[in-house]
Structure 1
Amino acid sequence: MLPILVGESIKELDQEFILSKGILSLDLMEQAANAFTNWFYGVFEDKEVQIYIFCGPGNNGGDGLAIARLLSENGYSINVFYLKNEKDCSNDFQANFERLPKNISATNFEKWDKKIEDGGIIIDAIFGVGLSRVLEGPISDLICELNSSLATRIAIDLPSGLPSDSVTTGQVFHSDHTVTFQFPKLSLLFPEHIQFTGDLHIIDIGIEDGFLQDFSKKAFYIRKQDISSRHRFFHRFSHKGDFGRVLFIGGAPGKLGALFLSSYAALRTGSGLVSCAPEFEDSIGIQVPYNEIMLYQVKSNTDLAEMDAIGIGSGWGNTIDPDYFLSIMIRFNKPMVIDADAINLLASNPFLLQKVPKNSILTPHVKEFERLVGKVANHAERIEKAISFAIKYEVILILKGAHTLIALPDGRQLFNSSGNQYMATAGSGDVLTGMITSFLGQGYTPENAAICGVFHHGLAGELASESKRRGMVASDIIEKIPTTFVELKIS
């Protein structure tokens, strides 16, 4: 997985990498500029469009100047604006300023006529990860002016004004695209910052993953290439028992759909035997919409040891006896997946939290999470509370949303890269519960079950939304689960 570094470590990383490779910082800047322009060529092919690059005095500005040169050499029309006189800027800024071709117009931003051609492209190279203050004065006014233009806006590494690790409180450049180098900066994953970051693109500038590991503070970004090694592989002599016997408990009257979504998702994820236990006195008249799902009745003395995994809470309702929930956890006494109404039951009966089997997987959305830990002010605080909760109760907490967070009992934080906005639909979380429970029942470790479940869920959503977009529903996600195994070459 790709390590996510805090802002204060990034400069140290660059220096160590430069020393290890025997190159100059200017060489690394050139690698970054080449990576950016290669991305740019694939997205913006029109060479007649006017490009406006605003460069700050530091190395982010140096990146902007190198990019200006490369784009100009490839036939694009470039206008450069810089904030400070050349001699007041970083050494690498000065070196790239000297390299600018004569045909590029380079102007101090104080002399800018404030004209941006409609349909043009603005590239923000003003401030990068080194910024630790709120923008004010003329710079804040400049950012405000750029944000009001009818142009496509691109930020290099970080939108100017955005801190790398915390929630912003000031003026920030509003990007349509943020092109960040080598790994995402933590603040780019905050929901509060979506208006600033736009579409996020992580581009490789040649720093190996192994080199990054030494600088990580336990935060990582899950990518497509990280998934295959997490999977178990089965052979032609495997039988349905090898693929797991899983049980879903929930489905109060009026909420059976949630339980069936979880159960069907488990089948599509590969479970060998799937049962569901609706919360009814008499389940004889219940019609199960999928022939492969078996009905099961959980009573106060039912032996649950035969099950490989249990997912509990989907559509369970708010009238469940806490002692009944406690008895299930005691009788099963293995990691389980806890979602929805089961999480609400834990929140309203804190004594149950101490009885949750170690390494169980909790999958709250934001509101359910706040019922567990109390109100939070922002996503940075939410992340910290998720980490503390996972450590305290020795569980895996999956905080659902864009860039879903997996908080592990050892303090690691894993952020997901798959999924999109079209997955914000009723039942999507029940599908995730079914998928994670399926992997757990197939013999995956709880950590790998969580990682594979979250990534495959997001990927299935991406695939389903290609033709459905806003019309996508949870069952569409389920139908694309098998395709995710094909996409990832999982046999």
Structure 2
Amino acid sequence: MQKILSGNQVKILDQQYVSGEGISSYQLMERAANAFCDWFVPQFDKDKNIAVYCGKGNNGGDGLAIARILALKGYAVAVGLSGDPETGSADFRQNLRVLPEVIPLSEWDQVQPADIVIDAVFGVGINRPLAGEYLALIRKLNDYTGIKISIDMPSGLPSDAPGEGEIFRADYTVSFQFPKIALLCPEHAAYSGKLVVRSIGISSAYFEAFESGQFFYSGEKLQEYHKTFHAFSHKGDFGRVMLAGGSYGKMGSICLSARAALRSGSGLVFCHVPGCGVEIMQTAVPEAMVMAGEVEKEVAGQLDTTGIDAIGIGPGLGKGEQACNLVYQVLSEYEGPTVLDADALNILVDHPEWLNLLHPKLILTPHVKEFERITGIACKNHFERIKLAGDFARKYGCVLVLKGAFTLVSLPDGKQIFNNSGSVYMATGGSGDVLTGMLTSFLGQGYGIENAAICGVFHHGHAGQLAGKALRRGTIASDIIGKIPESFCQWGIH
């Protein structure tokens, strides 16, 4: 799990690393350039011409090194400079000196449009809107129709604050070692494009000196977050979970949650549904055991939680009186691991006094709008939302999973984990219901609350990636469920 640092901390980290390893900052820059090119070469053919636009700082130095390496690999590369190169950073000037003469070098406004534009104007250091020559440059680049790639950060976008004014609109951003926090904000998606993170070999030991409670998770040591079972494990060992939800016309949600729980390894899945949903459930999910409530069209009656290892409540539940009673029962009487999603969250919005019933064995899974309704605060940007999510988890002692691209897991101890699995093709009805089933399953199997959240969110995203790779926009929630076992196999989970 990679710690995320601020832009100012990055500069200190680089200095400490080169000093501790006995290398030069120029050598570290060369590593970054090679890491970029190792990603670039398999993606783009050599029949495409490339224009690299460089500022005079270290980001521009990265650009010059990349231009040199790509030219040596057979690409047609031109370089455009902005700012006075004589006042550039030491590593920029060194890379300028070793730039091969075969690479055309000129002022930025003299470079012809190219198939691929690489933005190396500004990196993590910028903290104000672009102006003057740089504003004119980025406006020109944004008018190009070719493929646009940023090195580390899109020029004009601060690493730790909302963007203002003109910002380079990248199709890809290649960030080194870890993503800067601004790249994880949805309002910056039009600037960052697809995020690519490449290691430059800085070990985790160098991050220990820096204070940060935010992490970026890409599946490192995933097996260690999972429980293991033995040859004599039986279905009881794999957990008895209960899913409560469904209402007339909304039985699909709870069906998806139940199937996801089963595919995630639950030994026994019980479903508490309205009378109208019994035949639907037993037809759609024959492996589940179904208990009908006392009312035909909405879930009603008391849950029998005897022997239940975890509860998931909310998918398709509705907001009627009976549904409210059920949510209150779970919050006030059940002390085991619990997942609240969908209508259970909407009911919580209507009963803010129940927030005091939240506890350390509880996972809430709101999307952005649900979260803002729960808190009563409409955030101006994702930076505010990230802070609010952390404050909420600490205040109420629960785990909050804020769903979206780079789903954010906030823990009661203040730790926040951005998840790096998933696909835009998961933006489809029922995807959240699948996550509810997966989280409930892991809790029921005896996972700790943090490990359940990490494993559930990561495998949910990875299963979505696998489904989206094959089906693209045709991906539906059932496809994600179908890929859960494949995700386990690819990560060596037994």
Q: Distance in 2 between matches of 1:384 and 1:224?
A: 24
Tell which deviates more after alignment, 197-206 or 10-19.
197-206
CA drift at 1:302: 4.8
> What are the within-5 Å matches in structure 2 for residues 52-63 of structure 1?
52-63=51-62
Instruction: Please name the residue that 1:98 is paired with.
Output: 97
Q: In the alignment, residue 136 of structure 1 is paired with which amino acid?
A: A
Aligned mate of 1:142, from 137, 149, 163: 137
Determine whether 1:195 maps to 2:190: yes
Instruction: Please name the residue that 1:313 is paired with.
Output: 314
CA drift at 1:323: 4.6
After superposition, the Cα gap between the structure-2 partners of 1:302 and 1:80, relative to the gap in structure 1 and judged at 3 Å, is: closer
Q: Distance in 2 between matches of 1:155 and 1:454?
A: 28
Aligned mate of 2:251, from 256, 270, 273: 256
Q: Give 3-state SS (helix, strand or coil) of 1:87's partner.
A: helix
Q: Is the 1:336–1:357 Cα contact (8 Å) retained in structure 2?
A: no
Instruction: Please name the residue that 2:296 is paired with.
Output: none
Instruction: Please name the residue that 2:87 is paired with.
Output: 88
Determine whether 1:17 maps to 2:20: no
Aligned mate of 1:359, from 355, 361, 365: 361
CA drift at 1:283: 6.6
Q: In the alignment, residue 43 of structure 1 is paired with which amino acid?
A: Q
Instruction: Please name the residue that 1:389 is paired with.
Output: 392
Q: In the alignment, residue 354 of structure 1 is paired with which amino acid?
A: N
Tell which deviates more after alignment, 217-226 or 430-439.
217-226
CA drift at 1:285: 5.6
Tell which deviates more after alignment, 389-398 or 328-337.
328-337
Q: Give 3-state SS (helix, strand or coil) of 2:119's partner.
A: strand
CA drift at 1:159: 0.6
Instruction: Please name the residue that 1:71 is paired with.
Output: 70
Determine whether 1:295 maps to 2:290: yes
Instruction: Please name the residue that 1:26 is paired with.
Output: 26
Tell which deviates more after alignment, 469-478 or 236-245.
469-478
Q: Distance in 2 between matches of 1:102 and 1:353?
A: 66
> What are the within-5 Å matches in structure 2 for residues 146-225 of structure 1?
146-225=141-220
Q: Distance in 2 between matches of 1:325 and 1:33?
A: 54
Unpaired runs of at least 5, structure 2: 294-299
Instruction: Please name the residue that 1:333 is paired with.
Output: 335
1:395-431, CA deviations, whole angstroms, 9 ceiling, x for partnerless residues? 1000111111101111111011111111111111000
Determine whether 1:113 maps to 2:110: yes
Q: Distance in 2 between matches of 1:311 and 1:196?
A: 37
Q: Give 3-state SS (helix, strand or coil) of 2:19's partner.
A: helix
Q: Distance in 1 between matches of 2:306 and 2:6?
A: 44
1:258-291, CA deviations, whole angstroms, 9 ceiling, x for partnerless residues? 11111111011000000000144x8766552221
Q: Distance in 2 between matches of 1:216 and 1:179?
A: 24
Unpaired runs of at least 5, structure 1: none
Q: Distance in 1 between matches of 2:474 and 2:266?
A: 28
Q: Is the 1:338–1:361 Cα contact (8 Å) retained in structure 2?
A: yes
Aligned mate of 1:278, from 263, 273, 278: 273
Q: In the alignment, residue 145 of structure 1 is paired with which amino acid?
A: K
After superposition, the Cα gap between the structure-2 partners of 1:260 and 1:106, relative to the gap in structure 1 and judged at 3 Å, is: same
Instruction: Please name the residue that 1:344 is paired with.
Output: 346
Tell which deviates more after alignment, 264-273 or 79-88.
79-88
Q: In the alignment, residue 81 of structure 2 is paired with which amino acid?
A: Y
Q: Give 3-state SS (helix, strand or coil) of 1:225's partner.
A: coil
1:193-234, CA deviations, whole angstroms, 9 ceiling, x for partnerless residues? 111111211111111133224325111111123321100011
Q: In the alignment, residue 210 of structure 1 is paired with which amino acid?
A: A
Q: Is the 1:249–1:279 Cα contact (8 Å) retained in structure 2?
A: no
Q: Is the 1:222–1:414 Cα contact (8 Å) retained in structure 2?
A: yes
CA drift at 1:297: 4.9
Q: Distance in 2 between matches of 1:77 and 1:467?
A: 33
Q: In the alignment, residue 74 of structure 2 is paired with which amino acid?
A: G
Q: Distance in 1 between matches of 2:175 and 2:126?
A: 15
Q: Give 3-state SS (helix, strand or coil) of 1:246's partner.
A: strand
Q: Give 3-state SS (helix, strand or coil) of 2:110's partner.
A: coil
Q: Is the 1:4–1:216 Cα contact (8 Å) retained in structure 2?
A: no
Instruction: Please name the residue that 1:417 is paired with.
Output: 420
Q: Give 3-state SS (helix, strand or coil) of 1:78's partner.
A: strand
Q: Distance in 2 between matches of 1:334 and 1:452?
A: 19
Q: Is the 2:51–2:111 Cα contact (8 Å) retained in structure 1?
A: no
After superposition, the Cα gap between the structure-2 partners of 1:413 and 1:138, relative to the gap in structure 1 and judged at 3 Å, is: same
1:287-321, CA deviations, whole angstroms, 9 ceiling, x for partnerless residues? 52221110125676554141000001111101135
CA drift at 1:446: 0.8
Instruction: Please name the residue that 2:297 is paired with.
Output: none
After superposition, the Cα gap between the structure-2 partners of 1:93 and 1:274, relative to the gap in structure 1 and judged at 3 Å, is: same
Q: Give 3-state SS (helix, strand or coil) of 1:296's partner.
A: strand
Determine whether 1:377 maps to 2:372: no
Q: Is the 1:57–1:90 Cα contact (8 Å) retained in structure 2?
A: yes
Q: Distance in 2 between matches of 1:286 and 1:24?
A: 66
Q: Is the 1:359–1:409 Cα contact (8 Å) retained in structure 2?
A: no
TM-score (norm 2): 0.95
Q: Distance in 2 between matches of 1:362 and 1:134?
A: 37
Q: Distance in 1 between matches of 2:303 and 2:254?
A: 19
1:314-363, CA deviations, whole angstroms, 9 ceiling, x for partnerless residues? 11101135454222223211230000011111111011111123230000
1:363-404, CA deviations, whole angstroms, 9 ceiling, x for partnerless residues? 011111111112111111111111111111011000111111
Instruction: Please name the residue that 1:486 is paired with.
Output: 489
Q: Give 3-state SS (helix, strand or coil) of 2:472's partner.
A: helix
Q: Distance in 2 between matches of 1:55 and 1:5?
A: 24
Q: In the alignment, residue 71 of structure 1 is paired with which amino acid?
A: L
After superposition, the Cα gap between the structure-2 partners of 1:283 and 1:254, relative to the gap in structure 1 and judged at 3 Å, is: closer
Q: In the alignment, residue 487 of structure 2 is paired with which amino acid?
A: T
Q: Distance in 2 between matches of 1:418 and 1:101?
A: 39
Alignment root-mean-square deviation, CA: 1.7
Percent identity reads 48
Q: Distance in 2 between matches of 1:290 and 1:303?
A: 21
Aligned residues: 485
1:88-118, CA deviations, whole angstroms, 9 ceiling, x for partnerless residues? 1111111111111122222123xx335314x
Determine whether 1:469 maps to 2:472: yes
Q: Distance in 1 between matches of 2:439 and 2:309?
A: 12
Q: Is the 2:302–2:326 Cα contact (8 Å) retained in structure 1?
A: no
Q: Distance in 2 between matches of 1:301 and 1:183?
A: 48
